[in-house]
Amino acid sequence: MDVLSEVLKAVRLDGALFYNGEFSAPWCFRSPASRAVAPYLSPDSGHVIIFHLLTEGRGYAHIEDEGRPVPLNAGDIIIFPHGDPHFMGNGSAVKAVDMAKELQRISSQGLKISRMGGGGEITKFICGYMACEPQLSRVFLGGLPPVLKINIRNDASGQWLEDSIRYSVGNADASRPGGEAVIAKLSEVLFVEALRRYIALLPPEQTGWLAGVRDPEVGKVLALLHRKPAYPWTIAALANDVGISRSVLAERFRRYLSETPIAYLTRWRLQLGAQMR
């Protein structure tokens, strides 16, 4: 059982790619908070996650008024899970272009290449978003930092995914049947792949929901709870299905999530109920 897949089914991700940039150094832009972008991308969404995939060149990114710039290289995907306003750029300091003033143009032009900059080193990137239900998505979003960077070019599957995205974006103007659906699914796969890689890279001492997903026993229990939330689970039944004692299960579950499995299940049921109203 795959607990991440079970949760994402309930959250119902809705993703797409919306910007195709080719910028020459020096350049810099400010992306507004996702709540300002959401009406142009996914009007009915509760929460929008913004991400950027560098396909060529290099750059940097950082949250507005916080932290050092995160260096970016080709193959990096940088995600802002909580929708914070942020800057991206490359080269010497220049005045940032405020993308909040460009949202109407960006949303209307689709994936046509946008060019900007001072004529130096080229950076190419594709921007996407992931819309999700805010209450249910707290399960995994709560365990993510404000900025998440993962490189997808370090194995064959990641390279295939990047190549597929680049091809689909490059042929987006062809208006072939199903083109938008293909791009939407690829953006969702990209986001989920980044989450999977992030979980795999967590240090052994890490706690929290995402670290619990990786633990063999705790992950199985979480998967059972999310797959069958209406089932009358007991700690004994969960321990029996996982194959460990009740005391060991309770201790390990509390280590990662700071509560018992039944308390966790109760919270999840309440969130599901609130979402159905």
> For residue range 138-191, what is the model confidence (pLDDT) as tens digits?
888 988 999 999 999 988 989 999 999 998 888 876 556 677 888 889 999 999
**What is the reported pLDDT for 177?**
67
Q: Are 55 and 126 in contact (CB under 8 A)?
A: yes
106, two tokens: 């960006």
Q: Is the pLDDT of residue 45 over 80?
A: no
Q: Is the pLDDT of residue 17 over 80?
A: yes
User: Token match 């991206």: residue?
Assistant: 88
43, two tokens: 């009007």
Distances (CA, A) of 178 to 166, 174, 184: 16, 11, 10
Confidence of residue 213 (pLDDT cuts 50, 70, 90): very high
**What is the reported pLDDT for 277?**
65
Helix-, strand-, coil-residue percentages of the chain, each rounded to 5: 45, 25, 30
Alpha helices in 144-208 (DSSP H): 156-170, 179-201
How many CB atoms within 10 Å of residue 147? 18
Half-sphere exposure of 59 (CA within 13 A, CB side): 33
Half-sphere exposure of 186 (CA within 13 A, CB side): 26
How many CB atoms within 10 Å of residue 65? 8
| Interval 206-217 mean pLDDT | 94
Nearest to 48 by CA among 63, 33, 60: 33
Q: Residue 133 contacts by C-beta under 8 Å, 6 or more apart in sequence?
A: 11, 12, 46, 47, 275
* Bridge partner residues of 30 (DSSP): 87, 98
Q: Residue 229 contacts by C-beta under 8 Å, 6 or more apart in sequence?
A: 265, 268, 269, 272
* pLDDT tens-digit series, residues 50-103: 999 999 999 999 999 887 899 999 999 999 999 999 999 999 989 999 999 998
Radius of gyration of the chain (CA): 20
Sheet arrangement for strand 86-90: 70-73, 58-63, 86-90, 27-31, 97-98
**What is the reported pLDDT for 174?**
52
Q: Are 149 and 72 in contact (CB under 8 A)?
A: yes
How many H helices and E strands in the chain? Answer: 11, 11
Q: Are 41 and 137 in contact (CB under 8 A)?
A: no
Confidence of residue 42 (pLDDT cuts 50, 70, 90): confident
What pTM was estimated for this model as a whole?
0.90
| Spatial separation of the C-alpha atoms in residues 37 and 35, rounded to whole Å | 5
220, two tokens: 């199985």
* pLDDT tens-digit series, residues 217-274: 999 999 999 999 999 999 999 999 999 999 999 999 999 999 999 999 999 999 888 8
**What is the reported pLDDT for 275?**
76
| Interval 2-26 mean pLDDT | 90
**What is the reported pLDDT for 1?**
56
**What is the reported pLDDT for 38?**
87
Q: Is the pLDDT of residue 276 over 80?
A: no
245-266 b/e with 16+ CB inside 10 Å = b? eeeebbebbbebbeeebeebbe
* Residues in the chain, overall count: 277
Q: Is the pLDDT of residue 212 over 60?
A: yes
| Spatial separation of the C-alpha atoms in residues 201 and 123, rounded to whole Å | 27
